[in-house]
């Protein structure tokens, strides 16, 4: 009897020490565990020496990420363009809408597995997660704050942030610490252990269907995808971290922007009418050019080059490409099959592929095998953020 009570007491004690899923402590512990030991298929997480992760930083970063009060007029949080339920991007809009309805020029990338990206943004203009946050906080079409000092003063005055920066850093809010907290949270968003990983790295022969295996063969063979979307021996990020010209930027700037032909306008789902181009541009924003990597380096060779995105979880992150112009994986595969947009600066690794219908379907099926088994847990963990707004 006494023993039974003792065992029960030990079990109760254990249960109390291991908080239930959804509890901030459990969520932070899970994120720290992922960072220390990434899921199957991912390499070790690079960590900056001056910002090692901690539970308190991750907790604070998650709260900041979901806080709409970080935008000038209190309407826009980071999570509204990087929506957990939409692959940590935005599935509805080719290019997102920021504060006061201002449209952005580029598609919002997913922040899943962002810990591995050495260059951030489609043009790679930023190199550290810690400093990347400054750009959306200030961009007039994103969160539109007048200055960094303004954001920090605002956070410092919010009662629900009292003591949180001190707990994480031993000192009060600054932009550096805000960036370190959000970056620490983002680094825990590791999503792999997909059917592909279990098949390729885990030796589970049945994890991929026959069609997906056919897609893999095409991916590394005839279709040449793995020349830029790399698969390593022990881990795969499905990107070379480099910049390539697939012709989409060229097409928008040199072909579409110079034509006077009528434009198709979707007036209701599935109902398109052709309208006079000048009339459309008189009510909308004029087309904005996007020179890609060239805008950062000013090197003519970088014109219309964009960063190779990872393809992990790509089935969840439509629409695709830097401008969100391709709506489905089927459309992306057919785009490559046509040889993308042929022009003189097209990347030499891109050429017409001559795929059959079954080969297109197999490549799409392979891309669908890259969806992590951990997505539901990552969404639930993200949404457990205390929302004080
Ligand atoms: C209005 C929509 C919007 C908001 C709000 C927003 N982002 Fe983004 N985010 C984007 C877009 C669009 C890009 C790509 C921009 C580019 O390449 O020039 C991006 C890029 C990023 C990237 C780089 C991804 C990559 O693959 O290179 C990170 C990280 C990121 N955002 C995090 C954040 C954080 C943190 C916040 C809040 C402080 C935030 N975003 C707020 C739309 C948004
Ligand atoms: C020359 C290098 C290169 C090759 C070869 C290549 N890609 Fe890409 N891929 C890129 C770049 C660069 C982008 C981003 C283009 C942009 O943003 O406009 C991209 C974008 C994508 C995207 C969109 C991802 C997203 O999140 O928007 C998918 C899907 C994709 N590629 C699949 C493939 C497949 C399938 C193949 C083989 C048929 C392939 N790629 C071959 C470089 C390449």
pLDDT in tens, the chain (389 residues): 444 544 444 444 444 444 455 688 889 999 999 999 999 999 999 999 999 999 999 999 999 999 999 998 888 999 999 999 999 999 988 888 877 777 788 999 999 999 999 999 999 999 999 999 998 898 888 888 889 999 999 999 999 999 999 999 999 999 999 999 999 999 999 999 999 999 999 999 999 999 999 999 999 999 999 999 999 999 999 999 999 999 998 888 777 766 676 766 666 666 677 777 666 666 555 567 889 999 999 999 999 999 999 999 999 999 999 999 999 999 999 999 999 998 889 999 999 999 999 999 999 999 999 999 999 999 999 988 666 54
Q: How far apart are CA 312 and CA 193, in angstroms?
A: 10
Q: What is the pLDDT of residue 102?
A: 75
Contacts of 377 (CB under 8 A, 6+ apart): 21, 30
Q: How far apart are CA 156 and CA 185, in angstroms?
A: 20
Nearest CA, atom 11, ligand 1:
108
How far, in Å, from the CA of 142 to the mean position of ligand 1?
Answer: 9
69 close to ligand 1 (CB < 6 Angstrom): no
Q: HSE (CB half, 13 Å, CA atoms) of 134?
A: 14
108 close to ligand 1 (CB < 6 Angstrom): yes
Closest atom of ligand 1 to 120 CA is 27
Contacts of 9 (CB under 8 A, 6+ apart): none
Nearest CA, atom 10, ligand 2:
308
**Closest among 215, 211, 231, 232 to 223, alpha carbons compared:** 215
Residue 131 tokens, joined = 């400093």
Q: What is the pLDDT of residue 301?
A: 94
Nearest CA, atom 43, ligand 1:
81
Query: Using CB atoms within 10 A of its CB, is residue 314 exposed (0-12), middle (13-18) or buried (19+)?
Result: buried
Q: What is the pLDDT of residue 286?
A: 58
As a whole number of angstroms, the longest Cα–Cα distance in the chain is 89
Q: What is the pLDDT of residue 142?
A: 86
Distances in Å between the Cα of 161 and the Cα atoms of 74, 79, 84, 166 are 16, 18, 23, 10
Asked whether the CA dihedral 162, 168, 170, 171 is positive or negative, the reply is: negative
Residues with beta carbon inside 6 Å of ligand 2? 122, 223-225, 227-229, 244, 246, 248, 306, 308-309, 311, 314, 317, 320-322, 329, 332-333, 336, 347, 349-350, 363, 367
Nearest CA, atom 3, ligand 2:
228
Gyration radius (Cα) of the chain, Å? 23
Q: What is the pLDDT of residue 253?
A: 79
How far, in Å, from the CA of 374 to the mean position of ligand 2?
Answer: 24
Cis? peptide before 319, omega within 30° of 0: yes
How far, in Å, from the CA of 235 to the mean position of ligand 1?
Answer: 26
Q: What is the pLDDT of residue 281?
A: 63
How far, in Å, from the CA of 284 to the mean position of ligand 2?
Answer: 29
Residue 44 tokens, joined = 């070790």
Closest atom of ligand 1 to 95 CA is 12
83 close to ligand 1 (CB < 6 Angstrom): no
Q: To the nearest 10°, report the CA torsion of 163, 156, 140, 74.
A: 80
Contact predicate 223/353, CB 8 Å: yes
145 close to ligand 1 (CB < 6 Angstrom): no
**Closest among 6, 11, 27 to 381, alpha carbons compared:** 27
Q: To test the ligand 2 pocket, which listed residue (91, 217, 236, 244) has its Cβ within 8 A of the most ligand atoms? A: 244
User: Which ligand has the nearest atom to the CA of 310?
Assistant: 2
142 close to ligand 1 (CB < 6 Angstrom): yes
76 close to ligand 1 (CB < 6 Angstrom): yes
Closest atom of ligand 1 to 97 CA is 1
Buried b (16+ CB within 10 A) or exposed e, 272-309: eeeeeeeeeeeeeeeeeebbbbbebbeeeebbbbbbbb
How far, in Å, from the CA of 133 to the mean position of ligand 1?
Answer: 8
Contacts of 69 (CB under 8 A, 6+ apart): 154, 155, 158, 389
């Amino acid at each position: 009897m006494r023993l039974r009570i003792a065992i029960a007491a030990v079990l109760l004690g254990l249960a109390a020490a291991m908080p239930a899923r959804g509890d901030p402590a459990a969520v932070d512990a899970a994120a720290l565990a992922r960072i220390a030991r990434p899921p199957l298929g991912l390499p070790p997480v690079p960590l900056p020496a001056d910002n090692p992760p901690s539970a308190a930083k991750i907790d604070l970063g998650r709260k900041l990420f979901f806080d709409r009060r970080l935008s000038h007029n209190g309407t826009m949080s980071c999570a509204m363009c990087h929506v957990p339920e939409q692959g940590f991007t935005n599935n509805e809009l080719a290019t997102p809408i920021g504060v006061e309805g201002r449209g952005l020029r580029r598609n919002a990338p997913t922040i899943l597995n962002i810990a591995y990206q050495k260059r951030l943004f489609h043009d790679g203009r930023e190199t550290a997660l810690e400093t990347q946050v400054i750009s959306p906080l200030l961009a007039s079409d994103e969160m539109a704050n007048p200055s960094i000092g303004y954001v920090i003063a605002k956070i410092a005055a919010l009662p629900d942030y009292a003591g949180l920066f001190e707990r994480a850093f031993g000192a009060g809010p600054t932009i550096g610490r805000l960036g370190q907290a959000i970056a620490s949270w983002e680094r825990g968003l590791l999503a792999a252990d997909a059917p592909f990983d279990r098949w390729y790295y885990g030796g589970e022969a049945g994890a991929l269907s026959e069609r997906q295996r056919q897609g893999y063969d095409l991916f590394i063979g005839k279709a040449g995808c793995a020349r830029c979307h790399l698969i390593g021996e022990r881990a795969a990020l499905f990107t070379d971290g480099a910049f390539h010209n697939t012709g989409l930027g060229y097409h928008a700037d040199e072909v579409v922007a110079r034509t006077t032909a009528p434009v198709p306008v979707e007036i209701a789902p599935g109902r398109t009418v052709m309208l006079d181009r000048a009339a459309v541009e008189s009510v909308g924003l004029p087309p904005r050019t996007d020179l890609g990597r060239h805008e950062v380096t000013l090197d003519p060779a970088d014109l219309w080059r964009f960063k190779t995105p990872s393809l992990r979880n790509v089935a969840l992150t439509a629409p695709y490409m830097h401008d969100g112009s391709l709506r489905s994986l089927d459309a992306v595969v057919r785009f490559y099959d046509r040889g993308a947009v042929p022009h003189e600066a097209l990347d030499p690794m891109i050429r017409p592929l001559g795929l059959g219908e079954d080969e297109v379907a197999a490549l799409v099926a392979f891309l669908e095998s890259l969806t992590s088994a951990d997505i539901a847990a990552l969404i639930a963990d993200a949404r457990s953020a205390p929302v004080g707004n």
